[in-house]
Structure 1
Amino acid sequence: MFKHRQDLAEARETYQRELLQSQLETQNQTLEYVGQELHDNIGQMLSVAMLHLNGLEEELAQSAHQSTVRRMVESIEGTITAVRQLSKTLDKSTVKRFGLIESLNLELERIRQTGRYQTNLQVLGQPYALSDESGIILFRMAQESLNNALKHARAKNLTIEADYQPDAFSLSIADDGQGFDQTEVVARKLSHSGSGLHNLRQRAQLLGGTCTIDSQPGAGTRVCITLPHQPAQ
């Protein structure tokens, strides 16, 4: 009987891991598609608009309207840059090509350029390579944590800390926003609750690690993901 229950528990765990892996694959494919559309289509349309405005600016040289057109040109230039940065952060190949830290830095730079937040990236210890799967999942978890802070926290400062220790790697995402009551969030009815916190913990478990969330009303929020590190032999 015990062996049967153990087999059932292992089967459920395997199914949940495979389901989560499938969900992550679907999410990555969707985000890559959106990123490609932004880069190829939206970016192209903005570039065409820029060409027309540049031509209009030349035609209106010495005109009272030239300064207005110049401001429009600068606005579209900024939008093109933002779209390109966003498309990169949606593409998982960015993490594979440039690594987790550079990808996180790009994400924070994109947020900082809105002019509404101060951001900071700290790297502790001696950096070492993480697997592609770990890097991509950690990056998506950081994106989700940052997105939660942008939508709900009313924060002014966002800090990411990557800590490379010989036996473990940890990634923390902190904000100085309004925080929340974790007990109240967990106790919400299904129709009023989000799946964000649960998803973060599930993804950490998929990598063999843990995810802890520390938050109190008025005291900000800190998400900490810890993974065991096994140095290459």
Structure 2
Amino acid sequence: MLRYIALIISIVLQLVAVVVALRLTKVTKYKISWILISAGFVFMAFRYLIDLFQYMNRPRLEELVVLNDWISVLISIFIASGVIIIPEIFNYMRRAEYARKIAEKNVLNAIIETEERERKRFAKDLHDGLGPLLSTVKMSVSALMKTEKDEKNLEIIKNTDHVINEAIKSIKEISNNLSPHVLTNFGLASAVKNFTDKINETKVVEINVDSTIYKQRFPTNIEVVLYRTICELVNNSLQHGNAKNIRINLTSTDSILDLIYEDNGKGFDVSKVLQENTSGTGLRNMISRIESVNGTYKFESKSKIGFKATFSIHIGRKHDKT
């Protein structure tokens, strides 16, 4: 009776294994190694059915004993062959994972390139479209200022001229922030220095930039990613960290471009922020951008001791400024 129960349990478990194995055949893209292993499971189930039949119908038939032995041989052949060539499944999975990462990187690079292209287009439209219109209005107001004699009207015209000047200045700043011409024309270090100098003028924070790459240029996507990363880090330090001092270090070797960013803000729990859906979005986007250019990153921060970010990007050989 116990043997009968054991055979029933074995048959049920073996049939479950057969079903799972057959379903995984599609997942493994019908690789021959898994088909052989699945066939081994099928014959195992068949052999247990023969054992059950023999148990329920005595005496034992010699023909079924011989058949059972040969099925055991087939099972051994199928499973041994499958195990021997199963590394192809793991190789396939590694290739699929590598292809997925490459595809994700290409998609992200395409998004970044499209975003930068749209930024440049919008900045150009602002500068070349709205800028000249405001300049024309300013010329008209300036001409009116020269002919107006009434003091009240003259004061209104002066105020209008001042507002127009502020509007023209704002458009230039917005256009430059959208697509900094310094980055395009002079490179990463110069663009970062230009950006931080404007912030230093506010006296809200002191930003020190140390760089050895003023005479070097790098692939456009790398310069754009690092420039946007630095801008976002500075913005985070001011808005969330209440930092008063920021240090940015840009250096490169023959094959690596390094960025070290430090502030003396209030700090935060990096792992906790990265797990949050809202506050961690900026850091996760930053990580995705850095990884899209084959970069690595490291964040260090604790409450009340500031924040430090280190980025390293593989660039191949150095690129001299032309």
Query: Normalization by structure 1: what TM-score?
Result: 0.79
CA distance in 1, matches of 2:149, 2:258: 56
Equivalent residue, structure 1, for 2:295: 209
Deviations for 1:68-109, whole angstroms, at most 9, x for unmatched residues? Answer: 865764564355334324413422664232111121122223
Partner of 2:204: 116
If each structure's helix is expressed as a fraction of its own residues, which one has the higher value?
A: 2
Q: Give the letter aligned to residue 220 of structure 1.
A: G
Deviation at 1:197, TM superposition (A): 1.1
Give the % identical residues: 22
Question: Counterpart of 2:240 in 1: which secondary structure?
Answer: helix
- Residue matched to 2:308: 222
Query: 2:300 is aligned with what amino acid?
Result: D
> Match of 2:186?
98
Q: CA RMSD in A?
A: 3.2
Q: Secondary structure at the match of 2:303?
A: coil
Measure the CA separation in 2 of the matches of 1:232 and 1:153: 35
1:181 and 1:216 in contact (8 A); partners too: yes
Which residue, 257, 262, 268 being the options, matches 1:174?
A: 262
2:126 & 2:202 partners in 1: Cα distance? 18
**Structure 1, residues 148-174: CA drift from partner, whole Å, max 9, x if none?**
334323333343221233452212333
Q: 1:149 is matched with which residue?
A: 237
- Displacement of 1:37 in angstroms is 3.2
Give the corresponding residue for 1:197.
283
Other structure's SS at 1:8 match: helix
- How many residue pairs are counted as aligned between the two chains? 231
Secondary structure of 1:153's counterpart equals: coil
Displacement, 1:20? 0.9
Residue 36 of structure 1 is matched in structure 2 by 124
Task: From the superposition, tell whether residues 60 and 43 of structure 1 become closer, same or farther in structure 2 (CA, over 3 Å).
Answer: same
Deviations 1:85-143 (A, max 9, x none): 44134226642321111211222233334453333321147853322222222222222
What's the counterpart of residue 140 of structure 1?
228
Deviation at 1:28, TM superposition (A): 0.8
Aligned partner of 1:47 in structure 2 is: 135
**Residue 211 of structure 1: CA displacement?**
2.0
- Decide whether the 8 Å contact of 1:179 with 1:220 is kept in 2: yes
Asked whether the equivalents of residues 274 and 283 of structure 2 are also in contact (C-alpha less than 8 Å), the reply is: no
Q: CA deviation at 1:32?
A: 1.7
| Cα pair 2:229 2:286 within 8 Å, conserved | yes
Name 2:107's counterpart in structure 1: 19
- Structure 2 unmatched runs, 5+: 1-88
Query: Does the 8 Å contact 2:268/2:303 carry over to 1?
Result: yes
Checking the alignment, whether the CA contact within 8 Å between 1:127 and 1:164 is kept in structure 2 is no
Larger mean Cα displacement after TM superposition, 70-79 or 11-20: 70-79
Letter of the 1:155 partner, please give it: A
Other structure's SS at 1:230 match: coil
Query: Is the CA contact 2:263–2:306 (under 8 Å) kept in the aligned structure 1?
Result: yes
Query: Whose strand fraction is larger, Structure 1's or Structure 2's?
Result: 1
Contact 2:254–2:318 (Cα < 8 Å) also in 1: no
Q: CA deviation at 1:2?
A: 0.9
8 Å CA contact 1:31–1:90 kept in 2: the answer is yes
Q: Which consecutive unaligned segments of at least 5 residues does structure 1 have?
A: none
Matched residue type, 2:265: G
Look at both structures and tell me which one has the larger radius of gyration over its CA atoms.
Answer: 2
Q: Which moved more, 1:121-130 or 1:69-78?
A: 69-78
Local SS of the residue matching 1:174: strand
Aligned equivalents of 1:87, 1:113: Cα separation in 2: 19
